[in-house]
Chain A
Amino acid sequence: MIKTEQHIDQKLFPILEQVSDPEIPVLSIMEMGVVRTAVIENNIVKVQITPTYSGCPAMDVIGEDIKKALKEKGYNSEIELILAPAWTTDWITPKGRKALEDYGIAAPLDAEADKSVLLDGKRLVKCTNCNSTNTRLVSQFGSTACKAQFQCDDCQEPFDYFKCLK
């Protein structure tokens, strides 16, 4: 019943890769791992997307953007929002992590490290500006639901950290 793997028709991949996360424009929705299924059935593309956070306001926009991108290539589509299996930061691809870092958002650590950073004030998150790990948590919540605020104590750069969600 529950599918953990992705089903993406390879023909559709280049089209979907062009759609970006409206909150983090450098990141494609494919790198983000929010597209779980994209298959062509009776000339209609059926797409299943899953939200990063329940209240993520980007999901409606992402759905519309996917429709538009597919339409431009001559496909009609149906978008379905699914909750299971729940999205995890593990689904962000290595390329996606790199894009996040380049954009100035520290990519999520593993669950254990994340906990010790957010709860015990351990200094493990790498500054996106100078790579120092002499960074501290400013707030567990940031500009969007998925991020926390950090500051580097070496170069003083304030930056976002993408919280681990498992």
Chain B
Amino acid sequence: MKENLYKYILGIADNSLILGQRLGELCGHGPSLETDIACTNISLDLFGQVRSYYQYAAKIIGDGRSEDDIAMLRKEREYVNVLLVEQPNTDFAYTIGRQFLFDVYHFLFLKELQKSHDLTLSAIATKSIKEVSYHQRFSSDWVKRLGDGTVESHQKMQDAIDSLWTYTDELFHQTEADKIIVSEGIGVDVTVLKAEYYATVSKILTESTLKVPKSKWFQKGGKEGIHTEHLGYLLSDLQYMQRTYPNMEW
């Protein structure tokens, strides 16, 4: 029970940690001051949420590991984030596309998690969803601006959506631990979110004059710890300080 809940919490938190780290890479490197600040603000929200999840996970597992240990000292295969969030900031269209495809899911997920029988998880969800509704507004707005913008911005946005599309189906996969936690009324059955997710995404893409990708070939593995080649590089950045100066504190 304890182990499953721990795994379940990591499944939620790792998505936010890795996406937060990706967005953080843009600090001082965003295409404009406003988007730079927006991406790092979203990153900060995600890290804040992550702290609440990892603090709770540390309490549940109770083996002396702290929230920082859980965040910083796992190996690549012990991270269970979806492949979508670890994809690199290839260009701004990719950053926005990744954010948009995740935000729509994240919002639907938190809406359900608010109803969890686990009071800590429902409290985190209720807090986070307010922030995530801003994230979704921001990314949807930019998908529309780029999609319905110039010929070049339209093409770049379409390319990003086409490439990232293959990572969307994994959002709705369940691990064995997920299934158990869902059956206990704690977890969210992500399989039922799928129809609404694709409907929302398709509506916004269409409004943005973009084509909804037709491909039915989807990548998976992140939830089982099998990642794309990008995660290792991301972790070497994320974990650098803890590995170089073990136990250092801010």
Contact = CB atoms under 8 A, between A and B. Distances in A.
Interface of A: 1, 51, 53-57, 82-87, 118-119, 138-145, 149, 163, 165-166
Nearest to B44: A55
A145 B44 contact: yes
A53 B119 contact: no
A140 B123 contact: no
Instruction: Select the residue from A1, A55, A84, A144 with max chain B CB neighbours within 10 A.
Output: A55
Contacts of A51: 48, 127
Nearest to B41: A141
B38 A54 contact: no
Given A51-B127, A53-B131, A140-B138, 12 more contacts: A51-B48, A54-B49, A55-B46, A55-B51, A83-B120, A84-B122, A87-B127, A139-B34, A140-B137, A140-B141, A141-B38, A144-B41
Nearest to B127: A86
A55 B40 CA distance: 11
B70 interface: no
Given A84-B123, A84-B126, A165-B130, A54 B37 contact: no
Contacts of A145: 41, 44-45, 131
Contact of B34 (A55, A83, A141, A165): A141
B77 to A, nearest CB: 27
A1 B119 contact: yes
Q: Is chain B's binding surface mostly helix, strand, loop or mixed?
A: helix
Q: Is chain A's binding surface mostly helix, strand, loop or mixed?
A: loop
Contacts of B52: 54, 83
Contact of B49 (A55, A87, A165): A55
Given A83-B127, A140-B134, A140-B138, A53 B45 contact: yes
B134 A54 contact: no
Instruction: Select the residue from B34, B41, B44 with max chain A CB neighbours within 10 A.
Output: B41
Interface of B: 34-35, 37-38, 41-42, 44-49, 51-52, 119-120, 122-124, 126-128, 130-131, 134, 137-138, 141
A166 B38 contact: no
B229 to A, nearest CB: 29
Contacts of A87: 127
30 contacts: A51-B127, A53-B44, A54-B48, A54-B51, A55-B44, A55-B45, A55-B46, A55-B49, A56-B48, A83-B120, A83-B123, A83-B126, A83-B127, A84-B119, A84-B127, A86-B126, A86-B127, A87-B127, A119-B141, A138-B34, A139-B37, A141-B37, A141-B42, A141-B134, A141-B138, A142-B37, A142-B41, A145-B45, A145-B131, A166-B130
A163 B134 contact: yes
A54 B119 contact: no
A114 B49 CA distance: 23
A118 to B, nearest CB: 7
A111 to B, nearest CB: 11
Contacts of B34: 138-139, 141, 149
B110 to A, nearest CB: 12
A45 B118 CA distance: 28
A57 B51 CA distance: 12
A57 to B, nearest CB: 8
A114 to B, nearest CB: 10
B17 to A, nearest CB: 12
The 5 closest A-B pairs by CB, nearest first: A55-B48, A54-B48, A139-B34, A84-B123, A141-B38
